[in-house]
Structure 1
């Protein structure tokens, strides 16, 4: 209930926003479940002082702001939200995280007016920003000799920088639905069986061999063309509306990942997408891609289904406004017309930049994608 939620927020660590302690994969990578252990306070490194928090009178907040949970106050401060404009739904009218999230989503973020300090009282110094733990502070938590240090290469540094940029500057919004795959799998089998044979250095081979991911790429591209307002990028001055659906595909490589791009995927045949994707993935793993083959794009697809991952939420790759996270296809019991039957079902999660793609628009895009996956003949015309 609300009491329990508010109590949890009272004790949420200020360095870890509630709701981000997740074992979901991001950016196409596999994340191990986080393990939290209690450490004796004496073993923790001393952190730099965070500064003295000003009183309510000093910052000009109303009494309602003082009734906010610590987490709600921190989130409001980071978003520039004036808590005096927020109605609390927690116990005794207390402002909780859900109230702050709702105010931000509704465009209610307003900078709190600066209050004048009382006469004779010096203005309080602004609180120092909370910084991440230093390398020394992290290493002090572990016994010497119990670990090895592997210096970051440029790829890992770039991935880290881009992920921090994405999660701190893009308001992520998530939508999930299930797609039945049986019709797609049957069509894929027929298309592959009809592939002509070509001569290669290794002997005869089919001219193409479609994967489910190839068909996902095509469906995502066609969905973007069907819902063109979602094929966009956010800039501060204008919305960038893309004329083509260029789909980046997350490829795992030693030491990280990269997203080669299928340009104008909506205009290409499934066999062309399949062969192009195999070539890009091969050259990505040998680090032979040209910059123009992985820079840009209008959306991305990250597929962890081959690992048996049911569902996850991927991090948007700027300047994209969307990324589709694809889980494993598995047999599930479904109900149709009052009868239970077995179907192969795949869960997909669309992450959107809420500045560019609102919830309803993202839902429209995901429904268009589902329609193509469940009626795959539409990808052949």
Structure 2
């Protein structure tokens, strides 16, 4: 009996996902638990396993499609089976019967074609054709299409590869990345084989004296969701800001002592420990505004903003107020590694009650961060810089760091927010109290 494959929900705030790549072709066999496709959310790219066993009868949504959660994206069943009743509205029963694949893989559906602007004209390329071109280091603009209206399909790429000029793998890769046609290059290698240096020379010649234009980066996936959420955050919240400078002398001393004893913690770990403590003393900073009122959280889950390739993700240290500094250090290190390697699970980045965003490692003096909804505040942390300050009427050099607190003024008033920030400062200037 045919079964639907739906877009799964990965995280509480996920509303849609982008299909990056199908790992099984139409007509291919799949077992429950086998890897079926790759998807991208606002948080990460993840491989999704099949929830059914049988033949992949139909791919309803192709690569590049943005699909709402719980919507049907594919049908799995027995070869030749009528699956028309499982199709989304608008798909005809006759179409379902006609498209039921035989044991052999189905042809590339034209519906999967991606519009592509190449050589000054609009072309259409199927995802499998684009994938094959990437694998073989072929510039897709060089491939003539045999499909309707010049549609480039997988067969076109394979035929072109068989007759393409000989080039080294590196030369093919660079040519594909830079949009250079191998047909226009005279190779300097053995028997006229095109080398990477030949491609580099072509690119240099093309660049010199050429007019510089513009390029469009599509707003999709994680970047799109981050943009939407940050705009909504500024629109929906009454965001205000306080700043304070902190003398990090004691924090530096404590960290060096721990390091000497073999305990590895970062300044960010110390900051998170102090923030967690302050949140227990100022519960309104650990709350959220809802339609029914202000929800005050009795648990303290501190998010740590981590920059990844396509945007920003905030792994969450759960129950941070109950952890020792060493435990926070171990947890933050593990979460940061998982974020950069794209191994975070939904539980790793949901449930935060407050966020710490540290850009000090990028030599940023101070900045104003945007609140991560539905939290009520976020702490922006700048670099630690040796600064002349006055202590006991004398000018001395101290390691100074600037903290910037952004808070939702609908939930927290200015004075309590300032007291909360001051408490963090006090704890950072005397961190031994927490150890």
Residue of structure 2 equivalent to 1:241: 296
Structure 1 CA distance for aligned equivalents of residues 358 and 287 of structure 2: 22
> Runs (4+) of structure 1 moved beyond 6 Å?
none
Residue of structure 1 equivalent to 2:244: 177
Residue of structure 1 equivalent to 2:63: none
1:163 aligns with 2:218: no
Deviation string 1:233-266 (CA, Å, 9 cap, x unpaired) is 1112211111121100000000101000001111
1:300 aligns with 2:332: no
Structure 1 CA distance for aligned equivalents of residues 324 and 350 of structure 2: 22
Residue of structure 2 equivalent to 1:325: 380
Secondary structure at the aligned position of 2:425 is classed as helix
Aligned-pair distance for 1:163? 0.6
Structure 2 CA distance for aligned equivalents of residues 276 and 152 of structure 1: 32
1:211 aligns with 2:278: no
Structure 2 CA distance for aligned equivalents of residues 282 and 164 of structure 1: 28
Structure 1 CA distance for aligned equivalents of residues 286 and 313 of structure 2: 21
Residue of structure 2 equivalent to 1:251: 306
Structure 2 CA distance for aligned equivalents of residues 296 and 178 of structure 1: 30
Residue of structure 1 equivalent to 2:217: 150
Secondary structure at the aligned position of 1:165 is classed as helix
Structure 1 CA distance for aligned equivalents of residues 342 and 255 of structure 2: 30
Secondary structure at the aligned position of 2:253 is classed as helix
Deviation string 1:263-298 (CA, Å, 9 cap, x unpaired) is 111110111111111111111112211112112211
Structure 2 CA distance for aligned equivalents of residues 238 and 341 of structure 1: 48
Aligned-pair distance for 1:145? 6.4
Residue of structure 1 equivalent to 2:286: 231
Structure 2 CA distance for aligned equivalents of residues 174 and 158 of structure 1: 24
Residue of structure 2 equivalent to 1:186: 253
Secondary structure at the aligned position of 2:378 is classed as strand
Superposition TM-score, scaled by structure 1 size:
0.58
Larger Rg over CA atoms = 2
Structure 2 CA distance for aligned equivalents of residues 154 and 251 of structure 1: 17
1:350 aligns with 2:405: yes
Secondary structure at the aligned position of 2:333 is classed as helix
Unaligned runs of 5+ in 2: 1-210
Secondary structure at the aligned position of 1:296 is classed as coil
Aligned-pair distance for 1:306? 0.7
Structure 2 CA distance for aligned equivalents of residues 270 and 192 of structure 1: 13
Asked whether the equivalents of residues 300 and 323 of structure 1 are also in contact (C-alpha less than 8 Å), the reply is yes
Deviation string 1:51-91 (CA, Å, 9 cap, x unpaired) is xxxxxxxxxxxxxxxxxxxxxxxxxxxxxxxxxxxxxxxxx
Deviation string 1:165-205 (CA, Å, 9 cap, x unpaired) is 1011011100000100011101111112112xxxxxxxxxx
- Pick the structure with more strand per residue: 2
Structure 1 CA distance for aligned equivalents of residues 347 and 279 of structure 2: 21
Structure 2 CA distance for aligned equivalents of residues 335 and 226 of structure 1: 30
Indicate the RMSD between aligned Cα atoms, in angstroms. Answer: 1.5
Residue of structure 1 equivalent to 2:341: 286
Unaligned runs of 5+ in 1: 1-143, 196-207
Structure 1 CA distance for aligned equivalents of residues 410 and 313 of structure 2: 25
Aligned-pair distance for 1:229? 2.5
Residue of structure 2 equivalent to 1:364: 419
Aligned match for 2:324, one of 249, 269, 289: 269
Secondary structure at the aligned position of 1:216 is classed as helix
Structure 2 CA distance for aligned equivalents of residues 293 and 220 of structure 1: 19
Moved more, 224-233 or 254-263: 224-233
Structure 2 CA distance for aligned equivalents of residues 153 and 274 of structure 1: 34
